[in-house]
Structure 1
Amino acid sequence: MIYKHIPDVLVKVKFSDCNKFRYQLTIENPIKTDGKSLCVIMQNPSVANVRIADKSVQFLEKLIFKKEVKLFRDVKSITIVNQFAYIQTNGFIGSPNKIGKENDSLISQAIEVSDMVLVAWGKTNAYPERQKIINAILMQYPAKQVLATKAHPSRGTYKDFIEPYTY
């Protein structure tokens, strides 16, 4: 199934030179003249780019820009990063060569410039060692509000989906 970005958003993408790693996907709601920025951290990227979304990205766009969730009413932009930057849709197995050489610095940069962070890999993370590294990056920004999803966004619901993140 092909998923599209919701109407009227502006999308920018940062890929590796070889196009096998997607480091950042930024989605902006141009209707809002001012607002907060949200960094979303997921597991690994799928096919989403400037022209198409995937199920998880489209769900997040709707949740944040369309559903009037109180936490996100003031959000103007979303920057999606992943604990592994390697692009793969099915059968993903995380390994050090799938992190991407620029990934950790771009995760840190996205967190630094965001107003809040949403950890969106679901209740459990299949890669606890990688999660420790992501947690260490998050802890460098103690003033940030960090939230979590109760499930992976591809299996999300629009009601009671967000909770505080626990390290």
Structure 2
Amino acid sequence: MGAPAITHFDSRAGFEAQWRACLAAARERIDLFDPDFAVFPLGASEVDAALRTYLKGGGSLRLAMHSPAHIERHYPRFLRLLRDYSHAVACRATPRTLHGLTDSFCIVDGRHVLRRFHSGYMRGEAAFDAPEAVDLPGHRFEAIWAESQAALQPGTTGL
């Protein structure tokens, strides 16, 4: 394993570039937490294609969020992906007690992490080949996941 590559960003374009780099690096598992996923381009056709290729190759995807409303209203491609790969994609909504969490992060294969320090801003960093940088967000994600309830299931979204 080489030295960790850490990149800082402070714009939507910088965030999206790092998000796409995370998708390209993913092989086994992607864990995402964001209050509503409004800034993640989950509805973009190239993201849909990348996620389908990743899931077809045996990858898994877990999303934890405060509210699925933005995804339900604005990301029909993602809802189709969820229907087509329901065996590999899981979405959960946090209880009200966790709605004070305002950061946002993506963990890939336990080796890469993309973090926005506050979901209201585009400032953050991406660390690739840095398992030590994944440790804290990984534990946080597992705790959030354990407290959350299933969301965006085909029966509840009308798929």
Higher relative contact order (CA 8 A, sep 6+): 2
* TM-score range normalised by the length of the shorter chain: 0.3 to 0.5
Pick the structure with more helix per residue.
2
Query: TM-score, normalized by length of structure 2?
Result: 0.40
Query: TM-score, normalized by length of structure 1?
Result: 0.39
